[in-house]
Amino acid sequence: MAVYTDITEIDLKHFLAQYEVGELTSYKGIAEGVENSNFLLHTTKDPLILTLYEKRVEKSDLPFFLGLMQHLSERGLSCPLPLPRRDGELLGELSGRPAALISFLEGMWLRKPEAKHCREVGKALAGMHLAGEGFEIKRPNALSLEGWKVLWEKSAERADEVETGLEAEITAELAYLEAHWPKDLPAGVIHADLFQDNVFFLGDELSGLIDFYFACNDLLAYDVSICINAWCFEKDGSYNVTKGSALLEGYCSVRPLSDEERDAMPVLARGSALRFFLTRLYDWLTTPEGALVVKKDPLEYLRKLRFHRQISSVAEYAPAIEVAP
């Protein structure tokens, strides 16, 4: 469920009067997503997405998110584009929430992606990393090592309710990652949440990337590791080496990974699996029964984390291809 704040037709029409978007003909809430309230609008000109930014999103971060989408679009990346108001501002207010109008991106996300789709995701991610160069606003990654510690402190005492021995296991994992986390790899703007529902396809052709509200500055190869976790495992938890090879091949065809990035991939993949395990664990333990938000199983990412502990080389993710420059 992703409509946390309701809107009225009268308020919406008043809001739209600040834009050159035509007259409202219909609107409806969008059920997908977890951070903000989203609506699909139809007007006499074009369909649009209306986003109301909820309390979990810092208003001070919005210039980064909206400016980044503009920057990426201007450099050829297919992504939603925030629309300016008549006064040139990108951000307004509706129903007591910061709000923006975003262009509508054609396409749909894939429930059962194949290796050919993973290859296109790799290409698009590398294209985004290159397009992000020169974006002047900076946003640190709040969900990196220090952020993981904060999340874990809020969940550790109850972790064994989810699985016996979990508190000791994750405490040791955090210590390992802090000791081995790479510091000198190429960095820049990353998406940080490029899951299947944030990539649109028209048929087999990737039509664009959406939902940049976790985007930040961090290691580029860390973003690749997030995609390995998000795209290359099957529903039964098994790693699909064909998909992994395709994703890395696609990425490296646009932006080759350095030797140092390749060497760090197993550790980065452990870190990105831990990141999503911890946010899921926190929500699992703190979301009240009966809430409209669907809780996601944290154990899915615990199993992925345990898989990555057995990996010693990037070649085990993609043995059939050469991913070095």
Q: pLDDT-derived band of residue 289, with 50, 70 and 90 as boundaries?
A: low
Both structure tokens of 8: 């009225």
So what's the pLDDT on residue 291?
47
Give the residue carrying structure tokens 């991913």: 323
d(CA 61, CA 217): 12
Closest CA to 181 of 222, 134, 133, 231: 222
Over residues 265-285, the pLDDT tens digits come to 999 999 999 999 999 999 899
d(CA 84, CA 103): 11
Q: Rounded to 5 degrees, what angle do the CA atoms 65, 137, 3 make? A: 15
So what's the pLDDT on residue 129?
98
Looking at the predicted structure, is the pLDDT value of residue 2 above 70?
no
Looking at the predicted structure, is the pLDDT value of residue 174 above 80?
yes
Residues 6+ apart with CB under 8 A from 268: 182, 219, 221, 222, 224, 225
d(CA 166, CA 281): 11
Give the DSSP H or E segment for 29: strand 24-29
So what's the pLDDT on residue 286?
86
Looking at the predicted structure, is the pLDDT value of residue 180 above 90?
yes
Write the DSSP assignment of 11-22 as a string of letters: HHHHHHTTSSS-
So what's the pLDDT on residue 57?
80
So what's the pLDDT on residue 21?
93
Mean pLDDT score, 1-28: 87
Please give the share of the chain, as a percent, with pLDDT higher than 90: 85
Over residues 124-151, the pLDDT tens digits come to 999 999 999 999 999 999 999 999 999 9
d(CA 194, CA 191): 6
d(CA 190, CA 9): 36
Mean pLDDT score, 39-66: 90
So what's the pLDDT on residue 324?
47
Arithmetic mean of pLDDT over the chain: 92
So what's the pLDDT on residue 30?
83
H and E: helices and strands count for the chain: 9, 9
Mean pLDDT score, 189-205: 96
Q: pLDDT-derived band of residue 296, with 50, 70 and 90 as boundaries?
A: confident
The type of residue at 264 is A
| Residue of 55 and 27 predicted with greater confidence | 27
**CB distance 248 to 122 below 8 Å:** yes
Looking at the predicted structure, is the pLDDT value of residue 232 above 80?
yes
Looking at the predicted structure, is the pLDDT value of residue 3 above 70?
no
Residues for the chain: how many in total? 325
